[in-house]
Amino acid sequence: MRPGYWNLYILMIVFVSFGFTIRAQEQLLLEVKNQVEAIKFVPGDHLMYRTVDDKAWRNREIIRLIPEANLILFDDGMVEIDEIKSIRIHNYFYKGFGKMITGFGATWLLFGGILNVSGKEDFSWTNVAIGAAGLGIGQLVVHVAGQRTYKLNKHTRLRLVDVSMRINDERRIPTTP
């Protein structure tokens, strides 16, 4: 690096970090009773939700949050917070782990079948049991531990919060005369 460009690099780092702090000023919070931390969604995150009048799950990217009107703006429309019935959160660690075990079971069955067809080894019930157990346990982990569904009720609520600080707004920051 050239010595004369340090100021430019520092200025670029400041602008990049400033851009990330602006993005997180409006947040959608999923608050669960008896949990200290709320689950936070910001514009750019994907939200999987189900509305009161629709039984299908929708997975949409949050474009903008409007706290004054309790609206969430997506690419194809907007939804009020009161219309959302349940939210699904994915745990990608368990999804990946379950897919890995499923792949192990499928591979065990595949190679056992290839060895049986080629005549090099007999395909016994133990091989079938190991492969089927891998498939079953992997799918169980993916579908049970890989996602969590929150129904919005008296124990779980959804809230829009604007944590930006406006200096000229008299309602938010009182000024002394």
Tell me the CATH number at 50: 2.30.30
Residue 98 reports pLDDT greater than 70: yes
Q: Which residue has the higher pLDDT, 163 or 131?
A: 131
**99 and 67 in a common domain:** no
In the predicted model, what is the mean pLDDT of the chain?
Answer: 85
Q: What pLDDT shows up at residue 21? A: 47
**pLDDT reported for residue 141:** 95
38 assigned to some structural domain: yes
Give me the pLDDT at residue 23, please.
47
> Domain range spanning residue 129?
93-145
Residues 131 and 158 in one domain: no
DSSP readout, the chain?
--GGGHHHHHHHHHHHHHHHHHHTSEEEEEEETT-SSPEEE-TT-EEEEEETT--S-EEEE--EEETTTTEEEETTEEEEGGGEEEEEEE-HHHHHHHHHHHHHHHHHHHHHHHHHHHTSS---HHHHHHHHHHHHHHHHIIIIISEEEEE-SSSEEEEEEE----SS-TTTS----
Residue 169 in domain: no
Structural domain contains residue 11: no
Whether residues 48 and 135 share a domain: the answer is no
Domain count, the chain: 2
pLDDT range class, residue 171, cuts 50, 70, 90: low
In a domain, residue 63? The reply is: yes
Instruction: Kindly state whether residues 98 and 44 are assigned to the same domain.
Output: no
In a domain, 167, yes or no: no
Query: Both 113 and 79 in a single domain?
Result: no
34 and 57 together in one domain: yes
Q: Is residue 83 located within the same domain as residue 98?
A: no
**pLDDT confidence band for 101 (50 / 70 / 90):** very high
What's residue 93's pLDDT?
Answer: 94
The predicted-structure confidence for 143-155, as pLDDT tens digits, reads as follows: 999 889 999 999 9
Say if pTM beats, i.e. exceeds, 0.85: no
Q: Is the pLDDT of residue 125 over 50?
A: yes
Query: Could you report the per-residue pLDDT of 16-69, keeping only the tens digit for each?
Result: 666 554 545 889 999 999 988 999 999 989 999 999 998 899 999 999 998 888
**71 and 158 in a common domain:** yes
Residue 62 lies in a domain: yes
